[in-house]
Structure 1
Amino acid sequence: MKEVPSPPTEEQIEEGRILFAGECDFFFGSQKIEQLPDAGRPEIAFAGRSNVGKSSIINALTGRKALARASSEPGRTKQLNFFALAERLTLVDMPGYGFAKASKAVKEDWQNTMFAYLRGRTTLARVILLLDARIEIKSSDLDVIKLLDRAAVVFQIVLTKCDQVRPKALTAKIAEVEALAAKHAAAFPRIIPTSSETGEGIPDLRAEIAKFAEPAPLRA
């Protein structure tokens, strides 16, 4: 059984706040692996099923209302979107998966593209895998977890929309996901419950991500 790390300290929470208070700007969109920007700063990628609340979490983390935008049609966004955060870290918004209307060929193409990115991106520090706390874990979620294991990329599961789940049910969901993470070598054992509406878990997630940022530049 993996040992679950302690929650972030007050100092780490503050470091996360300062990082995400910095400028965050979109700088590149890539629909093909051949089009990826040059590897530079450490990257944190966000993955999740369509409608899991990925755009809302990214906006909540950065304190913006529309930095990341959800498509009106689930599964429509097909590109990797890159955002520069405070000139110290890159956030990568990955296309949503698990959309029911997609053909088998489209789903396979998504898997092939994502696996190529995950396996070959030397600057990728961690994947934040978002799961909806309100619903059961889907087969597409399990497929992506297997993909991350194969790519040998450390991923951390973050539960979304926790404000819409009763406390007892949320406790059970966290235990379920912890048990799932314990079965996978690439899974970081600490689960973070969040809500983009109430802000629950957002400082915690900021602190976790801030560990991978480049040092802040020295002031003159």
Structure 2
Amino acid sequence: MKEAAGPPTPEQIEDGRLLFAGECEFFFGSQKIDQLPPVGRPEVAFAGRSNVGKSSIINALTGRRALARASSEPGRTKQLNFFNLADRISLVDMPGYGFAKAAKSVKEDWQNMMFAYLRGRTTLARVILLLDARIEIKQSDRDVMDLLGRAAVVFQIVLTKCDQVRPTALKAKIAEVEAIALKQAAAYPRIVCTSSQTGEGIEDLRAEIARFADPVQTSGEGDVRP
């Protein structure tokens, strides 16, 4: 049985704040697995169904309004987008999955590319799997959890749009997701509830991500630089 992970400490919250106060810039986009940037900084990737609010969460985390752009057509973005955060960690925006209009071949291409990235990327520290708190868990969500398990990549489930769910319904959703996570060997046991509108859970998620960042570097004179 998995042990529950506790909430971040005040020190970890501060680490997350300092990390995300740094510069964050797009530096690479890859549509093919053989076009990935060279291995370097630790990476944390964001995965989720189309329209789950992935771009909004990334923008809320970084404090930018349009760092990650949402497509008006679900499933349109089909590349891995890499962002350099404070020269200490890379955030990876993965293409949305579960888009109904996509052809079967497109879905298979997505799965093959994602599995190759997940399985072969030695610097990938964690995947943040976003689920919409307002709707039921889809089969495509379960399929991605299985995919992550087969790739042996630890993932953490983060619920989005929690401000749009009544407290009793949200409590039931958390219990449902926790039960699913318990059955997934690769799932990190702690669920984070977020809202890009109210800021709920954002500092918590920053703290979780900061755990994987390279340490702050200091110069010989004792000056600290990110």
TM superposition score normalised by structure 2 = 0.97
* Distance in 1 (alpha carbons) for counterparts of 2:45 and 2:139: 21
Identical aligned pairs, as a percentage? 81
Equivalent residue, structure 1, for 2:185: 185
* Distance in 2 (alpha carbons) for counterparts of 1:4 and 1:61: 24
The secondary structure found in structure 2 opposite 1:135 is coil
- Structure 1 position 138 matched with structure 2 position 134: no
Deviations, residues 77-132 of structure 1 (Å, cap 9, x unaligned): 00000000000000000000000000111000100000000000000000000000
Equivalent residue, structure 2, for 1:80: 80
Quote the RMSD (CA, aligned, Å): 0.5
Equivalent residue, structure 2, for 1:112: 112
- Runs of 4+ with >6 A deviation: none
Aligned length: 220
* Distance in 2 (alpha carbons) for counterparts of 1:114 and 1:170: 30
The secondary structure found in structure 1 opposite 2:217 is coil
The secondary structure found in structure 2 opposite 1:27 is strand
Equivalent residue, structure 2, for 1:101: 101
Equivalent residue, structure 1, for 2:41: 41
Structure 1 residue 158 displacement after superposition: 0.1
Equivalent residue, structure 1, for 2:127: 127
Q: Counterpart amino acid of 2:98?
A: G
Deviations, residues 137-175 of structure 1 (Å, cap 9, x unaligned): 001101100000000000000000000000010011001
* Distance in 1 (alpha carbons) for counterparts of 2:172 and 2:142: 19
* Distance in 2 (alpha carbons) for counterparts of 1:103 and 1:33: 20
* Distance in 1 (alpha carbons) for counterparts of 2:139 and 2:103: 16
Which runs of 5 or more structure 2 residues have no equivalent in the other structure? none
Equivalent residue, structure 2, for 1:63: 63
* Distance in 1 (alpha carbons) for counterparts of 2:77 and 2:86: 25
* Distance in 2 (alpha carbons) for counterparts of 1:165 and 1:96: 22
Equivalent residue, structure 2, for 1:30: 30
* Distance in 2 (alpha carbons) for counterparts of 1:78 and 1:104: 14
- Structure 1 position 155 matched with structure 2 position 140: no
Equivalent residue, structure 1, for 2:215: 215
Structure 1 residue 217 displacement after superposition: 1.4
Which runs of 5 or more structure 1 residues have no equivalent in the other structure? none
TM superposition score normalised by structure 1 = 0.99
* Distance in 1 (alpha carbons) for counterparts of 2:5 and 2:146: 23
